[in-house]
Amino acid sequence: MAAGTRRIKSVEDSIRDTDEPEHRLKKHLSGLDLAVFGVGVIIGTGIFVLTGVVARDQSGPAVAISFVIAGVVCGLAALCYAEFASTVPVAGSAYTFSYATFGELVAWIIGWDLVLELALGAATVAVGWSGYLNQLLADIGAPLPESIAGETARFNIPAIAIVALMTVVLVLGIKLSSRVTAVIVVIKVAIVLLVIAVGLFFVKAANYSPFVPPAQPAEAGASGWDAPLVQTLFGFSQGTFGWGGVMAGAAVVFFAFIGFDIVATAAEETKDPGRDLPRGILGSLAICTILYVAVSLVVVGMQRYSELSADAPLAAAFSDVGLPVFATIISIGALAGLTSVVMILMLGQSRVLFAMSRDRLLPPGLAAVHPRYGTPYKITIGTGVFVAILAAVAPLEELANLVNIGTLFAFVLVSIGVIVLRRTRPDLPRSFRVPLMPVLPIVSALACLWLMLNLPGETWWRFVIWMLVGAIVYFGYSRRKSRFVTEGGREDAGAANAARRD
């Protein structure tokens, strides 16, 4: 009974599935490709959209510390992802890892949860991309109507267009996707470095004082479901600014770091996953954390934090010091940067759903691989349609917090899962090991949980509703269609794994 309920899928079964001819993905990616993917998806919304909002409304000049806190939390989770991805080099990331440790039900839950991170994340960034495009068009005197472009659009046409274009690129192959990403990453990293180098000449020391603005009580409206859950549960009101504001800011800018975990979804398409996955995951996160901190310090030094633009902080800061040309360059860089973010988030989503379909938790026909391009084209197209619909009609703010809570929940399970797999399968070869086991994974899980508690209660009940819908789908369809039921032997494997664990 317990084995049937948990349905642990062994690491060996997961790896064996990757050799099925109809589901075999092409191995084209190197360590450099993975690092480029990581940088390509991490650098985007955080610098070009969120920096001004957090500095102006929550952290002040200490937004740099918010980035450091979020980066450290992600770094702890990244260590856990690196061990898992190098040990279980299979598409699906946290979904696949959970299947090997907690069993099918938890794997389904995390797979369903990853839709919040990846699909909603892609839609959020597509909406931001539309806003930057319209600003750039406005600079040359040809803006699109606000009803069809920008963050307030009723039906966002540019967002649909960029999602459709990236879907085509993804269908045409992982090699093409990596080349497109490499070009875009070179452009946006060059612009980020330009911002740092030029902006340093316009930094005013007075703008850093006070570095941590005095704490202010929460606004009257920040109560009930609008307040952070930690306030509702424990009566702890962080307000704004002060160190409470810095922590609340870290929970928001955490969105900027989403992406390193997506590198793990490409494990099955990596030439040497044991060596290259840890390098790609940890390397991209380290590079991006340094760039985030540097840019945030420059921006709040150029312009008083209370005057920063919420929509385009970098471009507005350069315009404020009399460099409108740089504002245009930054807008172009933002478009390029957000383009790669949309593509890689959709790549991650398609690979997670591909793994779920291959396990028949979703219709198995969706896991078909294109005979020429070697990509899961049906899942990719379906992902593109879903993201395009979300981007067309969903407001940015409503999506961002759900993306955060979905990602943090995945990090918590992966952090716990790496401890579980060490105990249940100590025999597995591990080319990378999390140091200070089990201390660092436990700290990672607790830190992620704390950031989750700093999100509004409204986000939590939406998250719970989403999870309940997922449970209905699982017990109504996926559990009955699973390969554990439709193929002989997997139940026996699950029982053997459970017996060995006991």
Q: Dump pLDDT digits (tens) for 476-490.
A: 999 989 888 877 545
- Cis amide linkage into residue 210, ω under 30° from 0: yes
pLDDT at residue 324, as a whole number: 79
pLDDT at residue 492, as a whole number: 46
pLDDT at residue 399, as a whole number: 62
Query: Is the pLDDT confidence value at 373 over 90?
Result: no
Residue reference for tokens 């819908």: 469
Residue reference for tokens 């979703």: 362
The number of folded domains in the chain is 1
**CATH number of the CATH domain containing 195:** 1.20.1740.10
Query: Is the pLDDT confidence value at 337 over 90?
Result: no
Predicted TM-score (pTM) of the model is 0.82
Dig out the tokens for 86 from the structure.
């190098």
Query: Is the pLDDT confidence value at 327 over 70?
Result: yes
Helices 377-393, 157-171: crossing angle, 10 deg rounding = 170
Confidence of residue 397 (pLDDT cuts 50, 70, 90): low
Q: How many residues does the chain have?
A: 502
Q: What tens digit of pLDDT does each residue of 451-469 get? A: 788 778 888 888 899 999 9
Question: Three-class SS of residue 438?
Answer: coil
CA neighbor of 264 nearest in space, from 252, 281, 279? 281
Three-class HEC string of 268-332: HHECCHHHHHHHHHHHHHHHHHHHHHHHHHHHHHHCCHHHCCCCCHHHHHHHHCCCHHHHHHHHH
| Phi, psi values for residue 82, rounded to 5° | -65, -40
Q: What tens digit of pLDDT does each residue of 95-135 get? A: 888 898 888 999 999 999 888 778 888 888 888 888 878 87
Using a pLDDT cut of 90, give the percent of the chain over it. Answer: 22
By the 10 Å C-beta count (0-12 exposed, 13-18 middle, 19+ buried), 211 is classed as: middle
Left (φ > 0), alpha (ψ -120 to 50) or beta: where does 134 sit? alpha
- Tell me the residue ranges of DSSP E strands in 146-305: none
Dig out the tokens for 235 from the structure.
């009566």
**Domain range holding 455?**
2-501
pLDDT at residue 501, as a whole number: 44
